[in-house]
Amino acid sequence: MRVLGLLGLIARLPFVDAAAARGALFPRSGALTVAAELRLGANALTSAEIALLSMKLRRECNVAALWSDAVPTLAEVCKEQATAATDFPGPLPVVFAGAASEVGMAVAAGASAVVLAPANVAAEALGVDVLWRVSSAAEVAAVADAGHGSGTFLVDGEGADVGDILGAIPPEAAAVVAISAMQADNEEVSLGRRLAAAGCRSLLVRGACVGDDEDVAYTRFVVGGLTSKMSSKFKIDGATGAANGHFGTSGGSLLRDSKTNWRRQRERTMT
């Protein structure tokens, strides 16, 4: 189904609070938030296993939101999160970051927000938050020119142009910056801290969960590493590097002396 043909479908969907995702990713306190992506492709989990993972991520990992690019996974996660309506912590927003042709199914399954490319700027009336995936300052300008300048942007934190892209985002807008999970020497934590020191308020850890038995432990580790208090020296070093555009360089990590070697990393090295 084409994105432009979704308006009739959306009118028949149950109400979804369109402010839920942005409010969770950017709380009024200004605290840094971290979201975790579920990328379960190679490891097929049962519905019960996905529900258990969803519950543990909510209860044990202090994540702000969950992301998925697969509608079946997203549907199971949304279903489980809905059971926490009277719990603390309550339901997490679930963001769909898959194919634009599947956006309607994702919203029908309960997605709180969807990720779209600038080519889909006509899809604003989806009834949920839209995050615009941009890869250049020109794409930021195109989204803003289409009337979405106060929206939310998704930026690759490991791209060479990340500094230019973040600098082009209008001050009234917000940005989620994506970093990859389980990098060598905990570099995702180092990079995330530098981004936070430069003013980033929301991070997405791509591939944090892949359906193995390290998912919850790793997510707890990376969220803790990114959100724990930083020393004043790190804040100065990180802000200086970020201001100079050196988002992707090494150094400054408070976790260098406690490198974590995950089995997933070892298996990746062996293949």
Note the pLDDT tens digit of each residue in 196-241: 999 999 999 999 999 999 999 999 999 999 999 754 334 434 433 4
**pLDDT (tens digit, 9 = 90+) per residue, 90-115?**
999 999 999 999 999 999 999 999 99
Q: Residue 14: which domain range?
A: 3-270
**What's the pLDDT score for residue 123?**
62
3-state secondary structure the chain: CCHHHCHHHHCCCCCCCCCHHHHHHCCCCCCCEEEEEECCCCCCCCHHHHHHHHHHHHHHCCCCCEEECCHHHHHHHHHHHHCCCCCCCCCCCEEECCCHHHHHHHHHCCCCEEEECHHHHHHHHHCCEEEEEECCHHHHHHHHHHHHCCCEEEEECCCCCHHHHHHHCCCCCEEEEEEECCCHHHHHHHHHHHHHHCCCCEEEEEEEECCCCCHHHHHHHHHHHHHCCCCHHHHHHHHHHHHCCCCCCCCCCCCHHHCCCCHHHHHHHHC
pLDDT band for position 253 (cuts 50, 70, 90):
very low
**What's the pLDDT score for residue 20?**
76
**pLDDT score of 82 more than 70:** yes
Question: Higher pLDDT residue, 80 or 254?
Answer: 80
**pLDDT score of 4 more than 80:** no
Give the whole-angstrom CA distance, residue 152 versus residue 142: 14
Mean pLDDT computed over 79-89: 94
Question: Higher pLDDT residue, 258 or 21?
Answer: 21
Instruction: Give the burial class of 228: count Cβ atoms within 10 A of its Cβ; 0-12 exposed, 13-18 middle, 19 or more buried.
Output: exposed
Mean pLDDT computed over 52-59: 98
**pLDDT (tens digit, 9 = 90+) per residue, 11-47?**
333 333 445 789 999 999 999 999 999 999 766 899 9
Mean pLDDT computed over 81-87: 94
pLDDT band for position 244 (cuts 50, 70, 90):
very low
Total domains, the chain: 1
Mean pLDDT of the chain: 83
**What's the pLDDT score for residue 264?**
87
- Beta-carbon contacts of residue 56 (< 8 Å; ≥ 6 apart): 216
Report residue 201: phi and psi, to 5°. -110, -10
Residue 228: give its domain's CATH number: 3.20.20.70
Question: Higher pLDDT residue, 186 or 6?
Answer: 186
Structure tokens at 212: 């193995």
